[in-house]
Amino acid sequence: MDYQKYLRNENFPHIWCSGCGAGIALKAILRAIDDLGIEQDDVAMVSGIGCSSRTTGYVDFNTIHTTHGRPLTFATGLKMARPDMTVLVVTGDGDATAIGGNHLIHAARRNIDMTVILYNNNIYGMTGGQASPTTPLGDIGTTAPFGAVENTFDISGLVIAAGAAYVARCTAFHAKLLDDLIRKGIEKKGFSLIEVMAPCPTAYGKLNKKGSGAKMILDQKDAAVRIAKAEKMTAEELEEKIVIGVLVDRDIPEYIQSCDAAVAQAMNARNGSA
Amino acid sequence: MSFRYEIRLSGAGGQGLILIGKIIAEAAAIYEDKNATQSQSYGPEARGGASRSEVIISDSDIDYPKATNIDLLLAMTQEAADKYSNEIKPGGTIVMDSGFVHEAPEGDFKSHGFPITNIAEEQIGKKIVANLVALGIITELSGIISDDAVINAIRARVPKGTEEMNINAFRAGQNLIRSS
Amino acid sequence: MNPRTSMMQGNIAVAEGAIAAGCRFFAGYPITPSTEIAEHLARSLPLLGGRFMQMEDEIAAMGAVIGASLGGMKSMTATSGPGFSLKQENIGYASITETPVVIVNVMRGGPSTGIPTLPSQGDVMQARWGTHGDHPIIVLTPAGVREAFDMTVQAFNFSERFRVPVILLLDEIIGHVHEKVTLPDPEDLVVIDRKKPTVPPEEYLPFEIDETMVPAMANFGEGYRYHVTGLVHDQTGFPTMDEVKIEMMLNRLHGKLDKYADEIIQVEETGTEDAEIGIICYGSSARSARQAMRELRDEGIPVGMLRIKTMWPFPTDRIRAFADRVSHLVVPELNLGQIAHEVEHASCDRAEVVRVNRITGDPIHPEEIVQKIKECR
């Protein structure tokens, strides 16, 4: 496929470090859009602040690079104004689950139709390696110099519990699977989230002596377990593993459709009584 | 000098004082050609506690929309009577529900006490229309809005099907003054 | 009886004004004393083909109205002090991205949770400087129910025309009072929509610098794919660190309101020609002031009044001209002198500035102003 068609080439080179998972995720998003044959004019991509969120500057869609943690709020308003558009949100672990955590759970609860691609790199990469809500216990961040002591969020689990229609997880290694998961997420009517485990060799990797970006990606490959297999494993066996694949896919009422149905019912009742 | 008449309706939440404030204001402003403002002081909760509604009626523009010099005070509780009677202008009027206000405040004003809530219950069969009885008394004592305007405003404001009951309560209040 | 005449509450007039101006998206969060605006629009907008959303918090509400505006819907949110503080982050975003939105703040007593049900004018400086960094903003302050309607229409017109967030600043008294109003016929209203690009998409510069100072705005999904960012950007919309481009962009951002200042800045002068003592006032305090002025004029004391309708940009020149003609400028406000300070700056010692302040949740009684003016003589 022709990636150039979807890129704003004048804005390259991009800011991402070599070995970062962001570029892999970006290409997977473009393949999914291309595969679905959605016109670029009909796609909006909304992002927050952080490495992941720079994605909006590189893609030739209708793009909004918003404030830290808030992309879901902007995306919600945009989707309400233009329900016909395909709305994608690109965010990160800090953006979506720390400063933007409230928006994440409520967007999922509402089940508003949009697709979130969340790059989870276990750190605040852009600002140089501060601990995030997904920095593993004991791991080092510049603001956790003696090791992180806070429990981590299971982002996919959180969003499933909050009520999203579709939740999937993948790693940067499993690029072909990622195409598939994003495509399904876009096709799903409702709130979809694809959590992409994306290595950050520069900040998280360096602080925690995880080796090169390539090594980190291979380590993720080794840690990955497909959901079908994971369902047969014990909790102990799954420790340190990354369960990948479609975690939830359910048919539940979508927010805007529910709004429209409630209003149509009210108007019918009025017209009926008049 | 232009004409300005200030009414404060005070008592407890749930006594329907905001509703009759709106009726008085609409009677004057919509069903007659006067000007009116109506405001209410809100407590932090939607129900219970002290309640206060004010109506200013004038034949010209109303600048300051709050009461400064009360012509008529309705006090539906002892607390309201105690708290606001000193803001009645000299020669003004206080109307009290004597079922609740046992110690009438003293001052340079005309004092009218009636068992308003009891009358609502005995004559109309419902305590909740005590506010409409009070409205009848106020309309009669103030003499600033016509019966027709008030009745039109009542019809427009009260729930459908309760118009006659509310108008009967209003008449009962008027009769208290006419027969006294 | 005119069917457009009614006893209407200020907050409802704001909601009706928004509808009349073409607002079709509202996102908000319940907060006293502004909630009637949200409740009224929750009932009305969906039946008019618009959309209403109660968001998870005030920040989300502000983000949502910006998103909807980029999607082409005229959008509004409404709040009060604590919520206004939370919205500031994204008000700055609307300002730098030049996204038209209207923010209503029905002021209540502060600081913090303060006095939720009682009036204040304590947010006049926050309305100007609440979000970080130098930024353009327009703030309008109605003093009555009909004006709340008119100014809401105007707030949308300004925001669409100049691509700037517009704040409508009411106090609780104006938000909650019911007054007799006759609303204008919708056909008589001037409603302005954002300027659309006339060039083909490949030639479109979303933040173009031209003599109008206000770039044409394409809505998302209309074939003009462009980038919107809170980072300082150049004419293309993409971030820049080039000092020349930064300066050009920020000069235009601020300069656009200077260019149209004569249209934006509005005051109402009453009795200022022969006044010996002046009053500078706004919002509900102007109602107290007008009554005080009437009483004083009846006593033969020549008092004049300048009512601020556009709070920001501040009507410095008009106030300075008034200060030249009077001995004192009396400034009643429901705060500790936020605008008095600005009046002092405008007056430049031409007239003595006298404050009348109240922060207890009571309105300013006209008699307080009368007494203060008598003391000035």
Q: What is the CATH number of the domain that holds B45?
A: 3.40.920.10
> In C, which residues are within 8 Å of A84 by CB distance?
221
DSSP state, residue A205: I
| B178–chain C Cβ distance below 8 A for any pair | no
Task: For residue A119, give the CATH number of its domain.
Answer: 3.40.50.970
Which residue positions in chain C have pLDDT lower than 70? Answer: none
Decide: residue A38, CB within 10 A, 0-12 exposed, 13-18 middle, 19+ buried.
middle
> In C, which residues are within 8 Å of B44 by CB distance?
32, 116-117
Residue B46, pLDDT score: 46
> Among C188, C211, C241, where does a domain finish?
C188
- Percentage of chain B beyond pLDDT 90 is 89
My answer on whether omega of the bond before C111 falls inside 30° of 0, hence cis, is: yes
> Which of C179, C298, C356 best tests the B interface by mutation, with the highest count of B CBs <10 A?
C179
Indicate whether C165 and C118 sit together in one domain. Answer: yes
Decide: residue C295, CB within 10 A, 0-12 exposed, 13-18 middle, 19+ buried.
middle
Indicate whether C142 and C230 sit together in one domain. Answer: no
Q: Is C196 among the domain residues?
A: no
ipTM over 0.95: yes
Contact C220/A75, CB-based, under 8 Å?
A: no
Q: How far is CA C328 from each of CA B95, C102, C280, C351, rounded to the nearest angstrom?
A: 44, 35, 10, 5
Residue B45, pLDDT score: 46
Domain extent, residue A171, equals: 3-273
Who wins on pLDDT, B84 or B1?
A: B84
Distant-in-sequence contacts of C314-318, Cβ < 8 A, 24+ apart: C314/C265, C314/C342, C314/C346, C315/C265, C315/C266, C315/C267, C315/C346, C316/C342, C316/C345, C316/C346, C317/C346, C318/C265, C318/C267, C318/C269
Cβ-based neighbour number of residue B164 at 10 Å: 10
The CA distance from A142 to the nearest CA of chain C, in Å, is 25
Contact C366/B63, CB-based, under 8 Å?
A: yes
Contact A81/C62, CB-based, under 8 Å?
A: no
Task: For residue C342, give the CATH number of its domain.
Answer: 3.40.50.920
Domain extent, residue B42, equals: 4-178
Q: Could you report the per-residue pLDDT of B22-60, keeping only the tens digit for each? A: 999 999 999 999 999 999 876 654 455 788 999 999 999
What are C170's strand-pairing partners? C106
> In C, which residues are within 8 Å of B37 by CB distance?
177-180
* pLDDT at residue B66 tops 50: yes
Scanning every residue of chain C, which has its alpha carbon at the shortest distance from the alpha carbon of A53? C229
Q: Could you report the per-residue pLDDT of A59-89, keeping only the tens digit for each? A: 999 999 999 999 999 999 999 999 999 999 9
| C89–chain A Cβ distance below 8 A for any pair | yes
Scanning every residue of chain C, which has its alpha carbon at the shortest distance from the alpha carbon of A264? C47
Compute the distance between CA of residue A23 and CA of residue A15 in angstroms, rounded to an integer: 10
Number of separate domains in chain A: 1
Contact A75/C89, CB-based, under 8 Å?
A: no
> Which of B6, B57, B60, B66 best tests the C interface by mutation, with the highest count of C CBs <10 A?
B66
* pLDDT at residue B1 tops 60: no
Closest CA to C179 of A76, A183, B54: B54
Contact A85/C220, CB-based, under 8 Å?
A: yes
How many Cα neighbours within 13 Å face the side chain of C78?
A: 33
Compute the distance between CA of residue B139 and CA of residue A128 in angstroms, rounded to an integer: 74
Contact C363/B64, CB-based, under 8 Å?
A: yes
Strands of C277-281's sheet in order across: C267-270, C303-308, C277-281, C328-333, C352-357
- Please provide the DSSP assignment of C24-60 as one string: EEEEE---TTTHHHHHHHHHHGGGGT-EEEE-SSHHH
3-state secondary structure of B50: strand
Number of separate domains in chain C: 3
Indicate whether C9 and C148 sit together in one domain. Answer: yes
Indicate whether C257 and C302 sit together in one domain. Answer: no
Give the A window 20-49 contacts with C, CB below 8 Å.
Answer: 40-42, 44, 46
Please give the structure tokens belonging to residue C347.
């007056």
> In A, which residues are within 8 Å of C239 by CB distance?
57
| B137–chain C Cβ distance below 8 A for any pair | no
Closest CA to A222 of C115, A214, C263: A214
Number of separate domains in chain B: 1
Contact A263/C90, CB-based, under 8 Å?
A: no
Q: Are A104 and A161 in contact (CB under 8 A)?
A: no
Scanning every residue of chain C, which has its alpha carbon at the shortest distance from the alpha carbon of B60? C180
Indicate whether C231 and C331 sit together in one domain. Answer: no
C-alpha torsion sign, points C239, C243, C245, C248:
positive
Residue A273, pLDDT score: 65
Domain extent, residue C110, equals: 5-188
Average pLDDT, rounded, for chain A: 97
Compute the distance between CA of residue B69 and CA of residue A263 in angstroms, rounded to an integer: 48
Compute the distance between CA of residue C252 and CA of residue B166 in angstroms, rounded to an integer: 63
Residue B134, pLDDT score: 98
Q: Could you report the per-residue pLDDT of A139-176, keeping only the tens digit for each? A: 999 999 999 999 999 999 999 999 999 999 999 999 99
Closest CA to C206 of C238, C235, C247, C233: C235
Name the residue among B1, B30, B40 with its Cβ closest to that of C5: B30
B124: CB partners within 8 A, 6+ apart: B133, B165, B168, B169, B172
Q: Where are the alpha helices (DSSP H) in C71-144?
A: 81-97, 124-129
* pLDDT at residue B89 tops 90: yes
Mean pLDDT of A201-229: 97
Q: How far is CA C255 from each of CA C90, C135, C265, C284, rounded to the nearest angstrom?
A: 21, 11, 15, 31
pTM for the full predicted model: 0.97
Scanning every residue of chain B, which has its alpha carbon at the shortest distance from the alpha carbon of C33? B42
Give the A window 114-143 contacts with C, CB below 8 Å.
Answer: none
Contact B65/C176, CB-based, under 8 Å?
A: no
Q: Is C150 among the domain residues?
A: yes
Q: How far is CA A81 from each of CA B172, C26, C75, rounded to the nearest angstrom?
A: 55, 11, 10
| A184–chain C Cβ distance below 8 A for any pair | no
> Which of C7, C173, C279, C358 best tests the B interface by mutation, with the highest count of B CBs <10 A?
C7
DSSP state, residue A134: T
Please give the structure tokens belonging to residue B146.
């016509």
